[in-house]
Amino acid sequence: MSDRVRVHEYIALDRAAEPPALLCADCGWRLCDWAENYRLHAVVVDTATSALGGLFRGLEESLDEQIVLRAYHCPSCGRRLDAEVCPESAEPMWDLKLAGPGVAGPTAAGLS
């Protein structure tokens, strides 16, 4: 069994690292320790939803805060790891939280 397994479409877990680490699945860049929120270690690009076209038109008119499409990119290769639509002031949400450093797969990844 490999020490590097995918835990998300664009995130891999390196179980041999000490401590085990989350990596960009494309280039292997170490994002963070396994128990951290990898989004806090990604390059963040916010785009105002008003610039995204008709699907998002009017969101900023019904809310008091700018709504953005927030994309998280690998700091090394630039691969977009994930994205969410959120208020501009929102902290990055967890979208991947492992049950433990030696476990990977569908039963280990969950939302919080």
What residues make contact with Zn ion under the rule CB under 5 A?
24, 26-27, 29, 74, 76-77, 79
CA dihedral 12, 28, 47, 62 (to 10 degrees): 20
Specify whether the CB–CB gap between 94 and 34 falls below 8 A.
no
Please, what is the minimum distance in Å from the beta carbon of residue 27 to Zn ion? 3
Toward Zn ion, which CB reaches closer, 56 or 79? 79
Toward Zn ion, which CB reaches closer, 47 or 76? 76
| CB-based burial, 18-28: b 16+ in 10 Å, e otherwise | eebbbbbbeee
Please, what is the minimum distance in Å from the beta carbon of residue 25 to Zn ion? 8
* Alpha helices, DSSP H, located in 1-112: 59-62
Please, what is the minimum distance in Å from the beta carbon of residue 30 to Zn ion? 10
Toward Zn ion, which CB reaches closer, 12 or 59? 12
